[in-house]
Amino acid sequence: MLNKKVKSIILAAGKGTRMKSELPKVLHTMFNKPLLGYVLDAVNKTGYINEHFVIVGHEAEKVEKYVKENYENAKCILQSPQLGTGDAVNKATPYLKDFDGYVIVIYGDTPLITAETITNFIEFHENNHADLTVMSAIFENPKNYGRIIRDKNNKFIAIIEEKDVTPEQKAVKEINAGIYCINWKTVSDAFNHLHNNNAQGEYYLTDIVKWAVEKNLNVQSYILKNNDEIFGINSKIHLAQATKILNKKSIEKFMEEGVQIIDPDSTYISPETTIGPDTIILPNVYITGKNTIGKNCKIGPFSHVRDGAIIGNNVRIGNFVEIKKSIIKDNTNVSHLSYIGDSELGSHVNIGAGTITANYNPISKIKSKTIIKDGANTGSNSVIVAPVTINEMASIAAGSIITKDVEAYSLAITRSPLKIFSNWVKKKIEQLSGGNK
């Protein structure tokens, strides 16, 4: 256990101009989860941090809405106007007036950061009795990054932005990763001494390092092991690149746990999904959100499993199937070209090809539930209009539209009588040809 309590300040006020979007940068998603959510989850999972201050600015109400709906231990603080990263952190100082502990400062657009790294970072800070610790990284090509400058005794003395470095400093490969651990009681006064005498007229967070060095405080740097974790999202290109990095990591983890993924390059699976061993994922499967998939299942190809799916063992999900917010119990098959949404399927259920659970009323905006109990089956091209229950061992005839509950062991059919008109095609051809054969 740590000797101090820990809180976090998450910088999420920027517009993200290069995203070319009206949506705030931190609300852009990977696997349907906002970038800010990945950062908040990472700091929460350390087990050390129990309160977060999210600094908002551009489209603040949208970011605050997301935070309020998903994180009870986070508070949004408005930065307006936006006068730099130092000013952003300073907005939280009234809420930390009597705080005697550590404060983690982190950007809300770094979704690849992990709880393990943040935990190690905090523990490094405490074990070294640091007043201020900066996370750093070693880059072979450190272009555009601020450099960590040390004296001849290897003591951390400054962060110098690339535009200001000397030719000798430009060769330094250790860069500022932009994450800080601050002993708040000893360093918070730095925010009263920041200056904006620069071309941008902004208050820079990096200036607290200079202040701490001048005060002869203990300034340390923690060198990151995996540089991917500080990948910041500034464009849609970055977003796609980060998604691939995250997906590759997830795919490899699943395969190490016994999941067979036929084509990792065409398969996307959210890291919040769990999958049992011996399950086979066929090419072009896309799984987003938080889902549970059992063992010995077969999914795809070209299937889409959305957030909130709980899939049992020995389940077969065919090609071009979409599953959303549904429970599917053991030994059930959902055949190709089907949609199962807001539903509960029992065990040994067979869903025929092209079956649709019609769960959404576009007028009332209400989504209703379909229940299909053990052993029931639907014929091809059935439409199950929720709310409705299909009881045990019931059978739905192909092409039927079901709008009422179906009792156990019964057959439900809504099919118009078949009519066959002999020689109808032949007569049409003769009419079109004017009677000439």
Closest CA to 353 of 321, 387, 400, 389: 321
The torsion region of residue 348 among left (phi > 0), alpha (psi -120 to 50) and beta comes to left
Q: How many CB atoms lie within 10 A of CB 285?
A: 23
The yes-or-no answer on residue 195 being catalytic is no
Sign of CA dihedral 82, 88, 92, 97: negative
Give SS3 for 364. coil
Q: Contact at 8 Å (CB) between 152 and 146?
A: no
Catalytic residue among 28, 129, 336, 348: 336
- The torsion angle over the Cα atoms of residues 128, 130, 134 and 140, rounded to 10 degrees, is -40
If you write DSSP's letter for every residue of 198-216 in order, what string do you get?
Answer: STT----TTHHHHHHHHTT
Amino acid at 30: M
| Residues 6+ away with beta carbon under 8 Å from 119 | 46, 47, 48
Closest CA to 44 of 35, 52, 53: 52
The catalytic site residues sit at: 336
